[in-house]
Amino acid sequence: MVEPKPKKIEVSNLRLSYGKKEVIHGISFDVQQSEIFAIIGPAQSAKTSLLKCINRTLDFVAGAKVSGVIKVDGQDVSRMKNVYELRRKIGMVAPLPVGLPLSIYDNVAFAPRAAGMRSKAALDVLVERCLTQAALWDEVKDRLDSLGTKLSGGQQQRLTIARALSHSPDVLCLDEFSIAIDPVTTMRIEDVLKELREKITIILVTNLVQQARRLADRTMFLWNGEIVELGTNDVIFSDHPANRQTYEYVNGIFG
């Protein structure tokens, strides 16, 4: 058993409903500092909604109601006045790549500029660093002025990751990032994640059970808005996880 690390995100008794329909039924868990925390589960198990609760972009969803407490670095997110700082602290990568209709350079420089960074030299350094981290720099370094939306799907997804890293987040949330990209690119990004693990906390929402097995330190199996099981990978992916359903899901017997 690994020694418990400090808690980065603490979720307690989180409930979420859209209108009258409750989709998260009071879940509690912690994400530790510098771990890869995987969330697996079938579609409609509120994985994406959970991420939106954490960075409070759920504020933009009409009719969504949250109760319970989410703490990031010990601070209750629902009481934060500066949600923009919270969102910068949490990098978010959506399932489908979204290149903003800007140049590649501006895509990556968007967040730092929005946060008030103006120095061209500092931005240059940052853009190169983020694109390098996202394993995209070599492919685009000669055409930073061309449109981010014109890149291929896999490149756009790495651009999205570069953008998520551009505001130097402590936590990186990836929501089924490999859904629209090929296996080779996926492996390249997974290598990137393994490097990033040293510095930041990574929450990996994935439909690919094997991806969670490859990358994560701990895995949470979420089903219909409830935690079926949460544990270290050597338990979850063993022959005897605590819950029979977990075994069946990760081994493809159901789900």
Partner 1 sequence: MPAVFTETAATRRKRLTERLAQGLFGLMALSLVVPLVTIVVYLFVQAWPLLSWDFLTSNPTNGMRQGGIWSAFLGTIYLVTVSLCVSAPIGVLAAVYLNEYAEDNWLTRMINLAVVNLAGVPSIVHALFGLGAFVLFAGIGRSIIAASLTLAIMTLPVIIASTKESLASVPRSFREACWNVGATRWQTIRRIVLPNSISGILTGVILQVSRTAGETAPVMFTGAVFFKKIPEGDVFAYSLTDQCMALSMHLYTVTTQVTNAPHALPYAIAVALLGTVLVVNALSIGTRVYLRSRKKW
20 binds partner 1 (CB under 8 A): no
Among 16, 70, 72, 111, binds partner 1 (CB under 8 A): 111
Q: Give the total residue count for the chain.
A: 255
Using rule CB under 8 A, residue 17 touches partner 1: no
- The counts of H helices and E strands in the chain are 10, 10
Footprint of partner 1 on residues 31-70 (CB under 8 A)? 55, 57, 60, 62-63
x/- mask, partner 1, residues 156-175, rule CB under 8 A, reads ----x--xx-xx--------
18: Cβ contacts below 8 Å, ≥ 6 apart: 61, 63, 64, 65
- Taking alpha carbons only, the member of 130, 233, 132, 221 closest to residue 172 is 130
Structure letter (DSSP) for residue 64? E
CA 133 to chain CA centroid, Å, is: 16
Sole window of 71-79, 108-116, 176-184, 225-233 interacting with partner 1 (rule: CB under 8 A) = 108-116
CB of 211 to partner 1, least distance (A): 21
H runs (alpha helix) in the chain? 47-54, 83-89, 104-114, 120-133, 137-140, 153-165, 183-196, 209-215, 233-236, 244-250
Tokens at 50, concatenated = 């959970």
Least distance to partner 1, CB of residue 147, Å: 5
Restricting to residues 195-254, which ones interact with partner 1 according to CB under 8 A?
Answer: none
Amino acid at 49: S
Residue 34 per-residue DSSP state: T
Count interface residues toward partner 1 (CB under 8 A): 30
Closest by CA position to 47, among listed 64, 70, 23: 23
Minimum Å distance from CB 132 to partner 1? Answer: 18
Sign of the Cα torsion 47, 169, 167, 153 reads negative
- Comparison of 83 and 235: residue with beta carbon closer to partner 1: 83
List the one residue from 101, 143, 187, 234 that touches partner 1 (CB under 8 A).
Answer: 101
Contact assessment for residue 212 and residue 204, using Cβ atoms and an 8 Å cutoff: yes
Q: Which of 204/228 has CB closer to partner 1?
A: 204
Q: Which of 32, 34, 149, 233 binds partner 1 (CB under 8 A)?
A: 149
Contact between 92 and partner 1 per CB under 8 A: yes
- Among 85, 124, 182, 234, which residue interacts with partner 1 (rule: CB under 8 A)? 85
- Kind and range of the H or E run holding 231: strand 226-232
Complex with partner 1: residue 136 or 227, whichever CB lies closer: 136
By the criterion CB under 8 A, which residues form the site for partner 1? 55, 57, 60, 62-63, 84-88, 91-92, 94, 96, 98-102, 110-111, 114-115, 147, 149, 160, 163-164, 166-167
